[in-house]
Copies of this chain bind each other. A is one copy, B any other.
Amino acid sequence: MTLTGWTLPQSPTGRAATVPPPPWHYSGDIIAVDFSADPARVAELAPEGFTPRGDGSCTFFFCDWCSAAERDPRVKDDPGKGQYKEAYVTVNGTFDGRPFGRVPYIWVDSELSLLRGQIQGFPKKLGEIYMTRAIEIGKGGARKTAGGRFAAHVSSLGRRLATAAVTLREAVTGAMPAGALPQIHTRLWPSLEHDQPAVHELSLVKVADVEIGTVWRGDAALELGASEFEEVDLLAPRSVGPGWVYTMAFSVVGGTTMPLRGAR
């Protein structure tokens, strides 16, 4: 009669739980597009303590992840469990004076990622995501060479939320998207009884073992679209580029939380 599991559903063995505890490991392919939005719209999305850069700096990321869990080999062993795609936007600025990104909106195509992300404070919703993946032989797709075109899009409930493309120009060293920053999240879990949430706090994820593969930079296009259930289109790009295509790996080994700031 001892039910166990890091998340629901708990069971006698814990094997049915949706999310195993960290450490979690990630290896993925990234398509990213820097853009600038209306600074007033960006400012509206900043929690107390986070200061946007002021120039409307944002980055839209598409990621195709392979993920693993240190304590649950099933996540890595079953591609239907550990592999998923995600699409998100960052607004870029500072938190307590240091460069930070904030993710106001993010979509994933996996139950594991949805809940694992919300636990960290990512405001994940489900979406349908497609990304060009690089080929190495033949003519069926795009290659990671100058002129290679990498496209991506995300939709939800049949509404196209973002459509991006990056045409590679050159491999670069020491350069990354503007939004390649640590992130400040908000964890939020409602109460069933009270108006005040049961959990409402800022969170920082502890990341380790970051590796970056070859980074390609290029010309980019980005369109954001409207939905009855989304507000990402308020960040409509005023200028777009550059775009980025690269691989990345890291581990999440835990996190820290702190109270929300201001009179919330």
- Known contacts A76-B140, A79-B133, A111-B126; A3 and B45 CB within 8 A of each other: yes
CB distance from A29 to the nearest CB of B (A): 9
CB distance from A253 to the nearest CB of B (A): 11
Contact B80 A153 (CB under 8 A): yes
Partner of A158, one of B128, B187, B232: B128
**Chain B hits for A230, CB < 8 A:** 15-16
Contact A16 B231 (CB under 8 A): yes
Contact B151 A158 (CB under 8 A): no
- Known contacts A9-B125, A154-B158; A251 and B139 CB within 8 A of each other: yes
Answer yes or no: A96 CB below 8 A from chain B CBs: no
**Chain B hits for A198, CB < 8 A:** 187, 189, 198-199
Instruction: Please report which residues of chain A, range 138-197, place their CB below 8 angstroms from some CB of chain B when the two chains form the complex.
Output: 138-142, 149, 151-155, 157-161, 186-193
Q: Closest B residue to A200 by CB, please name it.
A: B10
- How long is the Cα–Cα vector from A14 to B95 in the complex, in angstroms? 23
Contact A68 B141 (CB under 8 A): yes
Contact A229 B81 (CB under 8 A): yes
> How extensive is the interface on chain A, given as a class?
35 or more
Interface SS, A side: mixed
* Copies per complex of this chain: 4
Q: CB-CB contacts of A92-136 with B at 8 A, as 1s and 0s?
A: 000000000000111000010011001111111110101111011
Partner of A157, one of B9, B78, B141: B78
Contact B77 A249 (CB under 8 A): no
Answer yes or no: A217 CB below 8 A from chain B CBs: no
Q: Closest B residue to A139 by CB, please name it.
A: B25
Interface pairs (13), CB distance under 8 Å: A1-B44, A3-B186, A27-B138, A67-B141, A68-B139, A78-B151, A111-B125, A114-B114, A138-B211, A139-B209, A153-B157, A192-B255, A199-B199
Residues of A within 8 A of B (CB): 1-3, 5-13, 15-16, 18-19, 21, 25-28, 43-48, 65-68, 74, 76-83, 104-106, 111, 114-115, 118-126, 128, 130-133, 135-142, 149, 151-155, 157-161, 186-193, 198-199, 203, 205, 209, 211-213, 228-232, 247-251, 254-257, 262, 264
